[in-house]
Chains A and B, each alone.
Chain A
């Protein structure tokens, strides 16, 4: 699968579908799809590193930075304009990543995974313990967002959130696909295979890691802002390891080799979770674990690979001359 080319057919069909679908969806489903698209942006950040064979168990740290950007902005400045806060969240996420990345770009594999975990759990600890600042486990309320100063009427708020998130997701898909098509994106893929070859060809591996880390931080920040407004309430769990684990799971489920795979994975995941927490709440993590085991052992490409093999089989069949 060549992720440097955006598959035109599925993108147009999927985009059109997501544009039309809110007209028929009930409100609770609209909420789920919005949240799924918001988290998809953070999943893309994890998928970037998975392409380089690096796992991170701490990507939720930037997700939390984005969410608390909104929280503090509302709490201190009574300012909740979603369109303005999106780039601010991206900038703060990227800034935090630029700091943490100074350390992180030196590490790979197990160390990369666990150091990320350590950093995100440190942030979780701070958010949890600084009650006077963050509200501790109570979290912070976010309130109704504005859109460039405009306050949408209550009955259309869900639609405003939906289309804003869809628009941002579209922009992010384009940006990430441009990033992957750049020389740096190609080096990123090579990083998992042979680092020494990268150094020989004149690129610094640390530089590749560092830039990717900053991009992943910005993505996490954007995702956090979107999710904070969608849910309307933020808690320290945004930075908890389970959140990071969910992101990794979704990237695997959807298939990290493509840009669209995580989107499908994210929507599937939110629906699975809604029904699972209704019918078997105590076996939820076990369900995730078993699905993940099955994907790792039998279908490493995730849902997207299943779609691809179906599509190519269909194409082959339709190109055969009938009756020949």
Chain B
């Protein structure tokens, strides 16, 4: 019983973080039809920015509760700077070119970001644990958990809800859906497609950086965790269905619980299990669990 509680709790916390990362990736893929390999790099950028902002703030002797504000400010900074920059300068040059070229382009951006991080923040790990410890702990069937982990789950649920509402319930969301379905027709009826592309990409970057900023207080932020994030996020959205918001949630929950189970029962296989799940899903249902089959346009 205790083991089950641990697995469910660990898995759900991990799933919340996974969801925050992968929802941005699925959003960008849904609108731009480009798999952004640099997504993991932007996630790491969010973590670094949040940590150094929080460290700076706490160094000034301000109220430690303000560090939560820094965790929210960091993804905004990263999103507003990196989003339009990458989309306008690089991505818009390869729209309509072969998918191989698009993937390679984002891959080279990923490589550049990876070293840029080392240049800006060095190679030593950074810590900021205040946001984590401030909230205190509680115990569940004899094991202690931090309230911060519960906060992560809450943020993931609320943020996911807001995203679904924006896409399904607002005017701008309906415009985005129209662009997804047919770019040319949307342009013909007067939609500024370029702006939708830029906006969606910026939102995607924001999501990645938010995931990074929120995970930052629970880990030591060091270079090298960017690529894991890209691959994990891809596994999540491939399982759930690419371009599908609810799919990202379902995929994140599956991957999170699977990994927690593996970590507690068979630690050697913690990564293998995730890739195996992805391969099984793709073999049985290539479009993902919640994905819809796409008509092939000729």
Interface of A toward B, CB cutoff 8 Å: 50, 53-55, 57, 103, 106-107, 109-111, 113-115, 117-119, 121-122, 125-126, 129-130, 192, 196, 241, 245, 248, 252, 282-286, 288-290, 292-293, 296-297, 300
Distance in Å from the Cβ of A112 to the closest Cβ of chain B? Answer: 9
Bound Cα distance from A129 to B270, whole angstroms? 11
Given the complex, which residues of B lie within 8 Å of A289, measured CB to CB? 108-112, 115
Indicate if the CB atoms of B104 and A121 lie closer than 8 Å: no
Indicate if the CB atoms of A292 and B104 lie closer than 8 Å: yes
Bound Cα distance from A71 to B101, whole angstroms? 36
Given the complex, which residues of A lie within 8 Å of B116, measured CB to CB? 286
Interface string of B269-288 (1 = CB under 8 A from A): 00110011011001100100
Given the complex, which residues of B lie within 8 Å of A293, measured CB to CB? 90, 105, 108-109, 112
Distance in Å from the Cβ of A261 to the closest Cβ of chain B? Answer: 16
Smallest Cβ-Cβ distance to B112: which chain A residue: A289
Distance in Å from the Cβ of A196 to the closest Cβ of chain B? Answer: 6
State whether A282 and B119 are in contact (beta carbons under 8 Å apart), knowing that A125-B271, A293-B90 are contacts in the complex: yes
- CB within 8 A of B279: which of A103, A129, A284? A103
Given the complex, which residues of B lie within 8 Å of A241, measured CB to CB? 227, 231
State whether A115 and B110 are in contact (beta carbons under 8 Å apart), knowing that A50-B100, A53-B98, A241-B227 are contacts in the complex: no
Distance in Å from the Cβ of B6 to the closest Cβ of chain A? Answer: 22
Q: Does B268 contact A (CB under 8 A)?
A: yes
- CB within 8 A of B282: which of A115, A129, A288? A115
Smallest Cβ-Cβ distance to B267: which chain A residue: A129
CB proximity to A under 8 Å, residues B240-298: 242, 268, 271-272, 275-276, 278-279, 282-283, 286, 296, 298
Q: Does B19 contact A (CB under 8 A)?
A: no
User: Apart from A106-B286, A114-B238, A288-B111, what 4 extra A-B contacts exist at CB < 8 Å?
Assistant: A111-B282, A117-B231, A282-B119, A285-B114
Q: Does B235 contact A (CB under 8 A)?
A: yes
State whether A110 and B108 are in contact (beta carbons under 8 Å apart), knowing that A241-B227, A296-B101 are contacts in the complex: no
Distance in Å from the Cβ of B260 to the closest Cβ of chain A? Answer: 17
Given the complex, which residues of A lie within 8 Å of B104, measured CB to CB? 55, 248, 252, 292, 296
- CB within 8 A of B108: which of A55, A118, A282, A290? A290
Q: List, sorted by A's number, 25 A–B pairs whose CB atoms are closer than 8 Å.
A: A53-B98, A57-B107, A103-B279, A106-B286, A110-B35, A111-B238, A115-B282, A118-B275, A118-B279, A119-B275, A121-B271, A122-B276, A125-B271, A126-B272, A130-B268, A196-B298, A282-B115, A284-B115, A286-B119, A288-B111, A292-B104, A293-B90, A296-B104, A297-B90, A300-B101
Given the complex, which residues of B lie within 8 Å of A252, measured CB to CB? 104
Indicate if the CB atoms of B112 and A290 lie closer than 8 Å: yes
Bound Cα distance from A284 to B112, whole angstroms? 9
Bound Cα distance from A171 to B242, whole angstroms? 42
Interface string of B204-226 (1 = CB under 8 A from A): 00000000000000000000000
Distance in Å from the Cβ of A210 to the closest Cβ of chain B? Answer: 15
Distance in Å from the Cβ of B282 to the closest Cβ of chain A? Answer: 7
Indicate if the CB atoms of B272 and A122 lie closer than 8 Å: yes
Given the complex, which residues of B lie within 8 Å of A126, measured CB to CB? 272
Q: Does B137 contact A (CB under 8 A)?
A: no
Bound Cα distance from A293 to B94, whole angstroms? 11
Which interface residue of A103, A107, A284, A292 has the most chain B CB atoms within 10 A? A292
Which interface residue of B105, B271, B296 has the most chain A CB atoms within 10 A? B271
Given the complex, which residues of A lie within 8 Å of B283, measured CB to CB? 103
Smallest Cβ-Cβ distance to A51: which chain B residue: B100
Indicate if the CB atoms of A118 and B100 lie closer than 8 Å: no
Indicate if the CB atoms of B99 and A53 lie closer than 8 Å: yes
Given the complex, which residues of B lie within 8 Å of A117, measured CB to CB? 231, 234
Indicate if the CB atoms of A297 and B275 lie closer than 8 Å: no
